[in-house]
Amino acid sequence: MKGAALVTGASRGIGRAIAATLAREGWAVCINYLQRKDAAESLLAQLRAEGCAAMIYQADVADRGQVAAMVRAVEKEFGAVELLVNNAGISHQALFQDTGDETWDRLLAVNLTGTRNTCMEVLPGMISEKRGCIVNISSMWGLRGASCEVGYAATKAAVVGLTKSLALEVAPSKIRVNAIAPGCIETDMVKVLGEETKAMLVEETPIGRLGQPEDIANLVSFLADDKAGFITGQVITADGGFIV
């Protein structure tokens, strides 16, 4: 068995596929969720039936205390977290000037501070083991900008800055930190945009389709592997050629 992996926001969408892929590859996976206990439980049951090691844990990544309790629970169950995937995220579509303080603050709290909170809690274990891998899920919108998603895109750009800077800081401890910038991936997050927008996004994607959660999960699997042992501080885009 590989070590302990914590995947945030793993009840649905991209995180769910990441957790399933890692568990099937032998990682002992913690499936974090916020509200959808039913979805987290169904994934847990599915993975355990396949003989995988998995647990679920409800925590709001924006809350440092909840994150700390979650990481302690994973350590108790599976040992120190060796792989952290910061996937939990929220988006919001509105004109910049119509985006209120509460929405702005929540975007930052979940997408940026959430990533910071989990890193803070797993790093002591990784540093003492001189081993660890962190994969942050940013977005192509954080790289190229997105009209009517200024708050979301700003948090995802900030995740890129966090990734590069932290990678430099913890490299001497043999910890790698990378980010993935997905393009349009077919999940609930994209469903809310409606069929017309989805068709437009497919048209704009050179490879001619939306991405599937597994497209991102496969990349996480590679980055987590020792095969990627010389890769750190990078942002890898998986977007079907959208922003080439």
116 binds ligand NAP (CB under 6 A): no
Alpha carbon of residue 188 to chain centroid: 15
Active-site residue 33, yes or no? no
Nearest CA to 70 out of 14, 105, 118, 22 is that of 118
Q: How far is the CB of 26 from ligand NAP (least distance, A)?
A: 23
132 binds ligand NAP (CB under 6 A): no
73 binds ligand NAP (CB under 6 A): no
- Catalytic pick among 27, 57, 152, 242: 152
Task: Return the residue matching tokens 């891998």.
Answer: 133
Under rule CB under 6 A, how many of the chain's residues touch ligand NAP? 33
Q: How far is the CB of 233 from ligand NAP (least distance, A)?
A: 19
The dihedrals phi and psi of 225, each to the nearest 5 degrees, come to -80, 155
Which CB sits closer to ligand NAP, 14 or 158? 14
Q: How far is the CB of 129 from ligand NAP (least distance, A)?
A: 25
Contact between residue 142 and residue 159 where contact means Cβ atoms under 8 Å apart? yes
Which one of the spans 27-35, 47-55, 118-126, 168-176 is the region binding ligand NAP (CB under 6 A)?
Answer: 27-35
Q: How far is CA 118 from CA 7, 100, 173, 200, in A?
A: 10, 26, 18, 35
Bridge partners, 58 (sequence order): 33
Contact between residue 1 and residue 201 where contact means Cβ atoms under 8 Å apart? no
128 binds ligand NAP (CB under 6 A): no
185 binds ligand NAP (CB under 6 A): yes
Mapped onto helix, strand or coil, the DSSP state of residue 7 is: strand
Q: Which helix (H) or strand (E) holds 156?
A: helix 150-170
Q: How far, in Å, CA of 79 to CA of 3, rounded?
A: 8
Which one of the spans 28-36, 77-85, 120-128, 228-236 is the region binding ligand NAP (CB under 6 A)?
Answer: 28-36
Which one of the spans 4-12, 71-79, 116-124, 164-172 is the region binding ligand NAP (CB under 6 A)?
Answer: 4-12
Q: Which residues are catalytic?
A: 152
Chain positions contacting ligand NAP, by CB under 6 A: 8-15, 32-36, 39, 60-62, 87-91, 110, 114, 137, 139, 182, 184-185, 187-190
